[in-house]
Amino acid sequence: MKRKKGFTLIELLVVIAIIALLMAILMPALDSVRKQAKAVICRTMLKQWGLMFNMYADQHDNKFMSGWTNYGTGGTPYGEGDWMVALEPMYGDKDIRFCPVAKKHGTVATEGWIAGGKTEAWGRYAYLIDPVTGNWKWAWGSMGANCLIYDYHPDWNSGSGIDVQKVCWRGPDVKNAGNIPMFADCACYGNTVQSEIGQTWNPADDPAPYDDAKGGGLGRRFGVNRHSGKADYTFLDWSVRPVGLRAIWRLKWHRNFPTDNPWVAKGWVNPWVGHWMENFPDE
């Protein structure tokens, strides 16, 4: 009788082993490609944000938004307020507020708020009240503005002793604009004048990034590790590039911000053993 041809058990096991080996080799490469693709999408979206800020400045005498929105009356006494209000007519599609790495919503109460992180979006943020209906508009996202670029009205921070018009950038027509962050990967919608202007944001004051501890500070807001130890930034010269998480202290956040901080100097030895940014890129 003629014997039927077929695979033996050993041959099948060899084939399965080869397939498993190939998958083990290819999976990290595919994962790397996915991460790179998300980074490219993130930078493309940040480029669009740069164009919108540019258009806004062109339409407002080369100045940015005022940073002041009077939500209580539904009015904006000194301009359109923050970036979400001022740029809303341009961006329309709310998905542009999300880095593709961080689109997951955290759990929030009905009127609650949650900070973002490496893979989570910030929200829920009340950014505008309709003067006709009195209803709030709510926002989520995973990108945010350096609000120290705003053209704040002199009365904005009255009584604090801070001259916001001298310290903040106010518009894009400044020197070394390529080192001034404007919009970026962020675990919040942005930063503010009251708590952050004049600070150096020493990383010793940031015990962990937003991934682990919710709170304020430069590292916790703009030091989110979404792109292999880096975050994506748009600058005042409209350029877009990734920035190593240690290097964010070299950026010129406001006019008085020191960029020669010792903790980012070449050869600096980190005195905070186990500090969260110790092993991240510094450029």
Q: pLDDT band at residue 213, thresholds of 50, 70 and 90?
A: very low
In a domain, 93, yes or no: yes
Q: Would you state the pLDDT for residue 270?
A: 55
Q: Any residues with CB less than 8 A from the CB of 210 and at least 6 apart, and which?
A: 115, 116, 117, 118, 187, 188, 220, 221, 223, 224
- Hunting for tokens 């801070």 — which residue is that? 162
List the structure tokens of 117.
Answer: 């992180």
In a domain, 213, yes or no: yes
State yes or no: pLDDT of 207 exceeds 50.
no
In a domain, 192, yes or no: yes
pLDDT in tens, 132-186: 777 777 788 999 999 889 998 776 665 556 777 888 899 999 999 999 999 999 9
In a domain, 19, yes or no: no
| Helix residue spans in 60-120 (DSSP H) | 83-91
List the structure tokens of 21.
Answer: 């080996």
User: Which strands sit side by side in the sheet containing 136-141, from one edge to the other?
Assistant: 104-105, 120-129, 136-141
Closest by CA position to 147, among listed 93, 94, 221: 221
In a domain, 2, yes or no: no
Residue type, 168: C
Contact by Cβ (8 Å): 261, 222: no
pLDDT in tens, 117-137: 888 898 877 777 766 777 777
Cα 194 from chain centroid (whole Å): 20
Q: Would you state the pLDDT for residue 101?
A: 92
**Neighbour-count burial of 246, counting CB atoms closer than 10 A to its CB (0-12 exposed, 13-18 middle, 19+ buried):** buried
List the structure tokens of 61.
Answer: 């005498």
In a domain, 272, yes or no: no
Q: Which of 130-144, 225-239, 264-278 has the highest mean pLDDT?
A: 225-239
- pLDDT over 70, % of the chain: 65
Q: Is pLDDT larger for residue 95 or for residue 113? A: 95
Q: pLDDT band at residue 232, thresholds of 50, 70 and 90?
A: very high
pTM for the whole thing? 0.79
- Alpha carbons within 13 A on the beta-carbon side of 270: 15
pLDDT in tens, 1-58: 555 566 677 767 777 777 777 777 766 655 666 777 888 899 999 999 999 999 999 9
- pLDDT over 90, % of the chain: 27
Contacts of the segment 151-155: beta carbons below 8 A, 24+ positions apart: 151/63, 151/64, 151/65, 151/66, 151/67, 151/79, 152/66, 152/67, 152/68, 152/193, 153/66, 153/67, 153/68, 153/77, 153/78, 153/79, 155/78
Which residues span the domain enclosing 166? 30-264
State yes or no: pLDDT of 82 exceeds 60.
yes
* DSSP letter, residue 265: S
In a domain, 185, yes or no: yes
Q: Would you state the pLDDT for residue 195?
A: 46
**Neighbour-count burial of 93, counting CB atoms closer than 10 A to its CB (0-12 exposed, 13-18 middle, 19+ buried):** exposed
Domain count, the chain: 1
In a domain, 67, yes or no: yes
